[in-house]
Amino acid sequence: MTTGGKTPRAAGGWREGDPAGRRLWYSHDGPLAGLPAVRLAYETWGTLNADRSNAVLVEHALTGDSHVAGVAEPGHPTPGWWDALVGPGRPLDPAHWFIVVPNVLGGCQGSTGPLSTAPDGRPWGSRFPLVTARDQVAAEVALADALGVDSWAAVLGGSMGGMRALEWAVGHPDRLGALLLLACPAAASAEQIALASTQIHAVRADPLLGLGIARRIAHISYRTEAELATRFGREPQGDGRFAVESYLDHHADKLVRRFDPDSYVVLTESMNSHDVGRDRGGVRSALRRVTARTIVAGVDTDRLFPLTQQEELAAGITTADDLRVVTSDHGHDAFLIESDQVGALVRELLPARVPSGA
């Protein structure tokens, strides 16, 4: 992949010296998740109340970050990825909830990852160790301790974020009261690993070109054949390319400008390794550990994480209601796009407000 542990400056990602934006940092001195030390970038909205009962953890997906809400600004290359859900009068209202959104361990937006400096003084680059969703949650547990959050009112996550949310609920059942799992599995399937490993090979062959190719492959799996047919069909452009090719090129270019190739590999491998039943007696046994009030939701057109995987979660978690289905033409990406439907699930999971805790 990269040479000598260095990532080309043309690659995206936050680096020391870049504007901090809204980020805060938590530093854990000492070994954690196989690393000699860990730093997590995170953002918060609202205020932790006196009895610490109103904290909500939001877990981002593969190429997301801590900037869940707000405009694009120095330090934040894109607007908030769930902006419609966080803010005054929205399902996650900072007037009532203390909302915490960390950049995942292994990410490239301020947390320890391949862009970070290794003990030898060089960037980790492709030498960064494998981290699992369980490792990433271990870092978030340390963050919660530092924030004084003994128990989350709720943990919410979709896609890769749902994997970590599930790990929280299984590994630390006494530390969350409610759980929302969106478009995620109990364990990565063979097909998902196959799609992801193809993307990894592309990045390892050429970091920047490969990252663009990986994004094109991934984006096809995020949407639906029907949507692509309706929006683009076989329409050509003036340059001779099909319109759908231009669409994929646009999304590839956007990601390359803001994301680090090594981090993409690290996080994709963490998704491939996801298995909530590992060393816990299997998936069924692991899911029975969940005690949080749970809503599991899938997308009817999701071809990356199909409804059968959410059916397994809803059936195996004894505190879950029946599976909820988000109806959409957008496929897997509906968990980010269908804000009205997803917002209704958040409102159902969390009351409109909590006591002040005074």
Q: Report CA-CA distances (Å) from 8 to 119, 256, 310.
A: 20, 11, 39
Q: Is 332 a catalytic residue?
A: yes
CB 229 within 8 A of CB 219: no
For residue 189, count other CB atoms closer than 10 A to its CB: 15
What is the mean pLDDT of the segment spanning 206-219?
Answer: 97
Distance CA(265)–CA(27), nearest Å, equals: 24
Out of 159, 270, 273, 328, pick the active-site residue: 159
Q: What are the Cα distances from residue 95, in Å, to 29, 49, 157, 158?
A: 33, 11, 21, 24
- Of the candidates 61, 99, 91, 96, the one whose C-alpha atom is nearest the C-alpha of residue 78 is 61
Q: What is the DSSP string of 215-266?
A: HHHHHHHHS-HHHHHHHTTT-B-TTSSBHHHHHHHHHHHHHHHH--HHHHHH
Kindly report the average pLDDT of the chain as a whole number.
Answer: 95
148-187: pLDDT as tens digits: 999 999 999 999 999 999 999 999 999 999 999 999 999 9
Q: Tokens 């990532």 appear where? A: 7
Q: Which of 111, 328, 332, 333 is catalytic?
A: 332
Distance between CA atoms of residues 106 and 132, nearest Å = 10
pLDDT at 9: 44
Query: Is the pLDDT assigned to residue 215 strictly greater than 60?
Result: yes
Query: Which whole number is the average pLDDT over 120-147?
Result: 97
Reported as a single tens digit per residue, the pLDDT across 67-119 is 999 999 999 999 999 999 999 999 999 999 999 999 999 999 999 999 999 99
Segment 274-307, tens digit of pLDDT: 999 999 999 999 999 999 999 999 999 999 999 9
* pLDDT class of 355 with cuts at 50, 70, 90: low
Residue 252: name the closest of 204, 283, 220, 223 by CA: 220
- How far apart are the C-alpha atoms of 312 and 283, rounded to whole Å? 9
Which stretches does DSSP call E strand in 87-204? 98-102, 154-158, 178-182
User: pTM for the complete prediction?
Assistant: 0.95
In one letter, which amino acid is 323? L
Q: Among residues 60, 302, 328, 333, which one is catalytic?
A: 302
**Tokens 């270019």 appear where?**
253
